Amino acid sequence: MFELKEEPLCKGIIFTKVLIKNQLEILFSNIGASIFEIKLADKTGKMENILITPSKKEWLDKRTFAGSIVGPLAGRYDVKHTNLEQNRFPIHFHGGSDGWDKKVWTQSCSNTQHKITITFRCTTENYSANIIYSIDTECRISMQIDVSPKTEMFINPTNHMYFNLNGSHFDPIKNHIFQLDAAYTYTEKNNLIQPNSLTKLTPELNFQNPRNLKTLYATHGINHTFKLNGPRKGLLEHPNNGRKIRFETSLPSVVIYTFNIAQEPFSRGDTLYPIYSGITFETQYPANDLQLVTFSPQNPYHSVTTFQFYNR
């Protein structure tokens, strides 16, 4: 049922392919503890990549966040009264200049009849981190993140995958159906979340009932942190080809971003991928609330986010 193949490259970088025959193919990399590519069959059996990524060379050379674990702190943070690096003036952004997306993690693999597990490890003088991806025969990817600090530290990681169920990087997601169990977003001021301040969803941002994303052009896209309701679930579905993703998380919020700006190195040849050609589900704690994301040896970090893939 499973196939597992490693492709070592230079400087200790490894790409590892997991194939669930005729259904799902995932390409992992130990740089950034990343998911670089996901190929999902449609209802006719056609396998296509549903992640928006640059070419492998551009991805390695220019190191975007796409598909990588962003940490230790994902999001934007006020650096006043902290020792956080101000790597995007005047804030700390996405783990700093030496964030987890840029690290080459130690990798190990194990498998049983029904599940393959790929574990990425990083140990420093300050912490030990494990990113554990489990893939089962039901086309489910479980992403478990465990961090054991050696002293008190701020921890709020996420994965930064861009999904597009069209199977083409150049077809926007405006035809997708989206549903999210959320009634509020976190209030922002000067591009920073205001801790414990919530805004009730406008009709344009309310996806508690499934509806399509055709309003993206009128609303200039989505770039918000949503407070998740009790089930903490979401759905993305293509209305015609049968592809569908359900996600569920132990975390209290999710950043939804719909690729609102065309940007290098997201391109093929000389052509940039268009705006709204992908959507993220960045499950995490709300950013800029350092009290909430303070962990210690007595209070280690743990989270689980699961993605279930369907093709009919």
What percent of the chain stands above pLDDT 90? 87
Mean pLDDT along residues 12-36: 95
Asked if residue 247 has pLDDT above 90, the reply is yes
Residue type at position 256: I
Backbone angle region of 100, left / alpha / beta, with phi > 0 → left and psi within -120 to 50 → alpha:
alpha
Does 2-310 carry CATH code 3.40.309.10? no
Render pLDDT for 225-244 as a digit per residue (tens, 0 to 9).
Answer: 999 998 899 999 999 999 99
pLDDT tier, 272 (very low <50, low <70, confident <90, very high otherwise)? very high
Higher pLDDT, 155 or 269: 155
What is the model's pLDDT at position 9?
77
What is the model's pLDDT at position 193?
96
Render pLDDT for 201-225 as a digit per residue (tens, 0 to 9).
Answer: 999 999 999 999 999 999 999 999 9
Distant-in-sequence, close-in-space partners of 130: CB < 8 Å, separation ≥ 6: 119, 120, 121, 144, 145, 146, 147
Residue by residue, DSSP assigns the chain as -EEEEEEE-GGG-EEEEEEETTTEEEEEETBTTEEEEEEEE-TT--EEE-B----HHHHHHH--STTSEE-SB-SEEE-TTS-----BTTEEETT-TT-GGGSB-EEEEEE-SSEEEEEEEEE-SSEEEEEEEEEETTSEEEEEEEEEESS-EE-B-EE-PPB-TTS-TTS-GGG-EEEE-EEEEEEEETTEEEEEEEEEPPGGG--SS-EE-TTHHHHT--EEEEEE-TT-EEEEE-TTT--EEEEEESSSEEEEE---S--TT-EETTEEPPTTS-B--EEESPTT-TTTTEEBTTB-EEEEEEEEEE--
pTM of the model: 0.96
Mean pLDDT along residues 107-129: 95
User: Alpha-carbon distance 282 to 158, whole Å?
Assistant: 6
What is the model's pLDDT at position 256?
98
